[in-house]
């Protein structure tokens, strides 16, 4: 009978020990999960900081490129304008007929219209993307 009682106590102790180990295993796995989630959170925060910095850099580059586009557009318009008047107007008028002169004027009007349309589209695009470029300082 004593042996039977001791055997039952041993079984109870073994069950108790198993339960305690399982609880300890759960808590250590909970600690591990918490550690992993904190580590992941820190990694994500670092990634967010890096992405924000990259975003700022890209915005600055975009502003610089928009400025370059404007400068190139202005230079292109100046070149187009100066190229069309490279010859002397008086010499051109004296050497052409009235019909040719009217045709040349119409071509110039068409070029002027296209340039104005082009400039208008550039200004609208700038106003949509970065209107601060157009501010007079």
What the block records as the tokens of 113 is 């219209």
Q: Is the dihedral of CA 11, 17, 19, 25 positive or negative?
A: negative
* pLDDT tens, per residue, the chain with 137 residues: 888 889 899 988 888 887 777 776 655 555 556 666 778 888 888 999 999 999 999 999 999 988 888 888 888 777 766 655 555 556 656 777 778 878 888 999 999 999 999 988 888 888 888 888 777 77
Longest dimension (CA), the chain: 137
| 15 within some domain | yes
**Domain containing residue 49:** 1-98
| 121 within some domain | no
Q: What is the pLDDT of residue 70?
A: 87
DSSP secondary structure letter of residue 131: G
Nearest CA among 58, 67, 62, 77 for reference residue 117 = 77
Q: Can you tell me which residue has the tokens 């695009």?
A: 125
Q: What is the pLDDT of residue 111?
A: 92
Q: What is the pLDDT of residue 124?
A: 86
| 25 within some domain | yes
| 114 within some domain | no
| 75 within some domain | yes
| 131 within some domain | no
What the block records as the tokens of 49 is 């900081």
| 105 within some domain | no
Q: Is the dihedral of CA 57, 121, 133, 72 positive or negative?
A: positive
Cα 78 versus chain centre, distance:
32
Q: Can you tell me which residue has the tokens 């610089």?
A: 64
pTM over 0.75: no
| 126 within some domain | no
| Domains identified in the chain, total number | 1
106-114: long-range pairs with CB below 8 Å, 24+ = 108/84, 111/80, 111/84
């Amino acid at each position: 009978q004593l042996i039977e009682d001791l055997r039952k106590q041993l079984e109870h102790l073994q069950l108790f020990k198993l339960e305690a180990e399982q609880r300890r295993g759960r808590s250590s796995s909970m600690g591990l999960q918490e550690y992993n989630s904190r580590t992941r959170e820190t990694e994500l925060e670092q990634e967010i900081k890096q992405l924000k910095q990259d975003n700022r850099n890209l915005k600055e580059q975009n502003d610089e490129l928009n400025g370059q586009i404007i400068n190139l557009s202005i230079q292109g318009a100046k070149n187009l304008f100066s190229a069309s008047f490279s010859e002397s107007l008086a010499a051109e008028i004296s050497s052409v007929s009235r019909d040719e002169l009217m045709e040349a004027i119409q071509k110039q009007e068409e070029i002027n219209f296209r340039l104005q349309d082009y400039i208008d589209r550039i200004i609208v695009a700038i106003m949509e993307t970065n209107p601060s470029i157009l501010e007079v300082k």
